[in-house]
Structure 1
Amino acid sequence: MERSKNRILTTHTGSLPRPPALTKLYAMRSRGESVDASEIEQAGHASMLEIVSRQIDTGVDIGNNGEQQREGFFLHVRHRMTGFGGSWKRWPRADVEGYPVFKRSLEQQNSAKEMVSNFAPPKVIGEINYVGATEAVRECTDFREALEARKRDGKSGFVEAFLTAPSPGIVVAAIKNEHYDTDDAYLAAVGRALQVEYEAIANQGFLLQLDCPDLALEHHISFQDRPLGDFLGFVERVVAAINDGLRNIPRERVRMHVCWGNYEGPHDRDVALETILPLIVRMNVGALVLPFANPRHAHEVRCLQGKAIADDQVVVAGVIDSTTNFVEHPEVIAERIERVARVLGDPARVMAGTDCGFDTSAGAGRVAEDVVWAKLAALREGARLASDRLF
């Protein structure tokens, strides 16, 4: 894994806006409407090619395929695993439920969108097996070919490239179990299946980013009416399942993203980072991708003081808010980067990133596409300013 040796490197959390036509295809398929599989494949591939070049041209140092060939950061597993069927409505978010006026406004906003909802997932009704190895490898191959094509054309590329895969915890939390005798058996089955995807990414030479919102978000969703200890037990089991799935991948080739949900909302029921950090640092990863731009968690940078994380771990600090159309001033971004560097005591262990993805489920993003790219350009400039002062 690269480090910010002479300057602060920039990256993001994975998902980038999909074109409206591609979003519509994904939304239609998620509703059970007839969609030509080859049409989705071609549209996703074309969008991936464009998004790779745009990231590089905008100044993203460590980028990916924008998740263009998936309808969401975890919902794509239903096309790569057996055992899923039907649908159900997930538990509501506790913070949103506490504000009825806001809830109605949010529902009205979402009803007007063409989107794939993370809150209407399938259920597990049979045995989980990973049967999408070919698709996983093809996604990697397509991404590699896009990077190689730029190189042949004499154009610049990424400093390093990554691809994302979901935590087994978000799958078992969002996809209701109607098959396995115990939740532990369900988690184990999903963990074994996802190991195939993890290793496909790593074996192609890409960094693996694990998307683990479940390790924070599920406290105010699945566990909102249960004791904190129950939630922390869930976090421990998920971390253990992930470590098992990573056993063939070097620690320094993996980074892990945790957040409290990529939505604008009160977030006043969020579990504190200091509560979960001692558990999530047990994960065998080389970098933590944490949100420090949003107003609910920006102060939690201080949780990284001392020996809170291992000396060899990097922090990808979220210094761009992925839920607002404000374009952060480069000086604000630089100040946020410098604060993390001061806490860690070593700017080489800091990268600049986004709090979360900009389109974690197709069409669900709140930030307009043109604003997304303005934010990423500001990220590049803020990192430059911070680099001038830190190195």
Structure 2
Amino acid sequence: MTEILTTHAGSLPRSPELIEANAARPVGADGLTPEPTAEFREVLRQAVVDVVARQREIGIAIPNDGEYGHLMGSAVNFGSWWSYIFDRVNGLEITGEDIFSSEPVRSAPGDVRLTTFPDRRDWTLFAEAYQDPTSGITVGSQPTFPAATGAVGYSDTGRALIAQDIANARAAFDAAGYEHGFLNSLSPGSGSRIVDAHYGDVDAFLDAWVAVMRPEYEAIAAAGLTVQVDDPSIAENWDQINPEPSVEDYLAFTRKRVDAVNRALVNVPTAQTRFHLCWGSWHGPHTTDIELRHLAPLLLEIDAKYVSFEAANVRHEHEWTVWQELTLPEDKVLVPGIVSHATNVVEHPELVAQRLERFARLVGPERVIGSTDCGLGGRIHPQIAWAKLESLVEGSKIASRRV
């Protein structure tokens, strides 16, 4: 029997103690969080030990640190996967203008530009639902994000924080008996979505973020861990372009962001790299999502062995058939989302097994790792999140016996 392995996209529910410790951290004059105290570091270290042990107890095969080093000061938080980097980068400050407060930007054929978040097409199409607090739609709280007011660069604080993440993860993996694990890191394209008040050129700003992220990727890989590059922007940007562009224009725009990932990973072995794509983790209609068939060929050009993508939520589950049409290179492994962050319903193990079997019969069970659509931490209740992971593991055992 070939075992179908399990993992998850990254973020896991934080413990109450860690949330409280994060919320209590002071904010500097620049609006960013200063280096942690010794007391906070101990709370964080123990929390990582506990979350890795919980993954081992459930039976997750490929763990991470729950993204616990990415500051999250409230139980509901959709943005820590992204906002964590701001404390690790020079050249940023709170200016009062960010991606939520800036003026909308319009694109034209051959000139694709990202607009503001409130001007996204899904948000405007369903404006009544988004503005109704009883609708069930949520994008989480939206703090003021920094803008780049100077040259951006990975800071000494960033180097200390990623070293802390690595040390905590390695110690927790060893304690739980794991030989391998991964850490999440932001993509250059996602980093470059903040307001640029310095470079004045989209491509130059993207290039700057390539240099920003490279040290973090290299530090994770040098420690023998797998780097997961989180890049919702590859798919999510489509919804942030107004009016809707042609697919050709969008793919030209996106290819630059794929190239940016590869340039940032230049010194990282492909076998130690995962790439995560999603259409944005907010709980909304998502009717303006771009189809996977347009993006899948680009995904295969990324220098990552493991390709992680949403395949469980009701907007994208049907797209498993894309992999019937594409030949998966021999050095690639699919990491489809099998349980969703976007519903409180816990997937039945039998459904998990059926979803895994689809992929296993297409590419072989040894080249499928069952995962979550996106991070569970901050998006659904912890009790439900852990139940979903338990169902994922149970369903993978059923599928492994069948295929």
Instruction: State TM-score, norm by structure 1.
Output: 0.88
Which residue number corresponds to residue 6 of structure 1?
2
| Secondary structure of the structure 1 residue equivalent to 2:89 | coil
| Secondary structure of the structure 2 residue equivalent to 1:248 | coil
Q: Cα RMSD (Å) of the superposition?
A: 2.4
Counterpart amino acid of residue 381 in structure 1: E
Asked whether the equivalents of residues 291 and 356 of structure 1 are also in contact (C-alpha less than 8 Å), the reply is yes
Matched-pair identity in % = 33
The answer to which of 133-142 and 350-359 deviates more is 133-142
- Deviation of the 1:244 alpha carbon: 0.9
Question: Given the alignment, which residue of 295, 298, 307 partners 1:288?
Answer: 307
Which residue number corresponds to residue 145 of structure 2?
121
- Deviation of the 1:247 alpha carbon: 1.2
| Secondary structure of the structure 1 residue equivalent to 2:280 | coil
Change (3 A) 1:49 1:107: farther
Q: Is the counterpart of residue 250 in structure 1 residue 246 in structure 2? A: no
Q: Distance in 1 between matches of 2:400 and 2:36?
A: 46
The answer to which of 331-340 and 83-92 deviates more is 83-92
Which residue number corresponds to residue 316 of structure 2?
297
- Deviation of the 1:205 alpha carbon: 0.3
| Secondary structure of the structure 2 residue equivalent to 1:37 | coil
The answer to which of 37-46 and 159-168 deviates more is 37-46
Counterpart amino acid of residue 371 in structure 1: I
- Deviation of the 1:25 alpha carbon: 4.8
Which residue number corresponds to residue 187 of structure 2?
167
Q: Spell out the pairing of 1:1-391 with structure 2 (5 A cutoff).
A: 6-26=2-22, 32=31, 37-38=36-37, 39-71=39-71, 72-86=80-94, 87=96, 88=98, 89=100, 90-92=116-118, 93-105=120-132, 117=142, 120-131=144-155, 132-150=158-176, 157-158=177-178, 160-173=180-193, 175-221=194-240, 223-228=241-246, 229-344=248-363, 346-359=364-377, 364-365=378-379, 367-390=380-403
| Secondary structure of the structure 2 residue equivalent to 1:184 | helix
Asked whether the equivalents of residues 64 and 161 of structure 1 are also in contact (C-alpha less than 8 Å), the reply is yes
Counterpart amino acid of residue 152 in structure 2: I
Q: Distance in 2 between matches of 1:107 and 1:82?
A: 40
Which residue number corresponds to residue 75 of structure 2?
none
Change (3 A) 1:274 1:34: closer
Q: Distance in 1 between matches of 2:20 and 2:9?
A: 23
Q: Distance in 2 between matches of 1:33 and 1:81?
A: 10
Q: Distance in 1 between matches of 2:32 and 2:215?
A: 29
Q: Deviations over 1:267-311 (max 9, x none)?
A: 100001011122222111101101110000001111112444322
Q: Distance in 1 between matches of 2:327 and 2:40?
A: 44
Q: Deviations over 1:51-90 (max 9, x none)?
A: 1111111111001000111121121211111011115225
Asked whether the equivalents of residues 60 and 158 of structure 1 are also in contact (C-alpha less than 8 Å), the reply is no
Q: Distance in 2 between matches of 1:109 and 1:378?
A: 24
| Secondary structure of the structure 2 residue equivalent to 1:16 | coil
Counterpart amino acid of residue 121 in structure 2: A
The answer to which of 86-95 and 243-252 deviates more is 86-95
The answer to which of 75-84 and 21-30 deviates more is 21-30
- Deviation of the 1:107 alpha carbon: 8.7
Q: Distance in 1 between matches of 2:353 and 2:211?
A: 41
Counterpart amino acid of residue 11 in structure 2: S
- Deviation of the 1:29 alpha carbon: 5.6
- Deviation of the 1:98 alpha carbon: 1.4
Q: Deviations over 1:121-151 (max 9, x none)?
A: 211111111112222122101111122234x
Counterpart amino acid of residue 249 in structure 1: V
Instruction: State TM-score, norm by structure 2.
Output: 0.85
Structure 1 residue runs without a partner (length 5+)? 151-156
- Deviation of the 1:324 alpha carbon: 1.2
Q: Deviations over 1:237-283 (max 9, x none)?
A: 11111111111111111110101011221110000101112222211
| Secondary structure of the structure 2 residue equivalent to 1:74 | helix
Q: Distance in 1 between matches of 2:172 and 2:148?
A: 35
Change (3 A) 1:36 1:134: closer
- Deviation of the 1:159 alpha carbon: 5.5
Structure 2 residue runs without a partner (length 5+)? 72-79, 101-115
